[in-house]
Amino acid sequence: MKQNITLALEKDLLAELKVIAAQRSMSISGMLSSQLKEIVAREKQYEKCKNKALDTLRTGYHLGGRPASREDLHVR
């Protein structure tokens, strides 16, 4: 379901947007909608990656073997 919003833009910016939209055979509304969808998708992907990284930090890595003893590390 679509919902209309009101957006206030400078006249110069609006004029440039109309030209760009026409060059792309799109409406300004379509262009903005496309850009906003990309922003939302990037934010969702960022959150997904951030949560995965935080989970990895919490669980850590299993590198195998046993930890070296203090004596083994400081043999004289």
Q: Write out pLDDT tens, residues 18-67.
A: 999 999 999 999 999 999 999 999 999 999 999 999 999 999 887 878 88
pTM for this model (two decimals):
0.70
CA end-to-end span of the chain: 74
Nearest to residue 35, comparing CAs of 52, 14, 21?
21
Residues in contact with 34: Cβ distance below 8 Å, sequence separation at least 6, in sequence order: 26
44 with 52: CB under 8 angstroms?
no
Residue 36 pLDDT: 97
29 with 23: CB under 8 angstroms?
no
Residue 54 pLDDT: 96
1 falls in which pLDDT band (50, 70, 90)?
A: very high
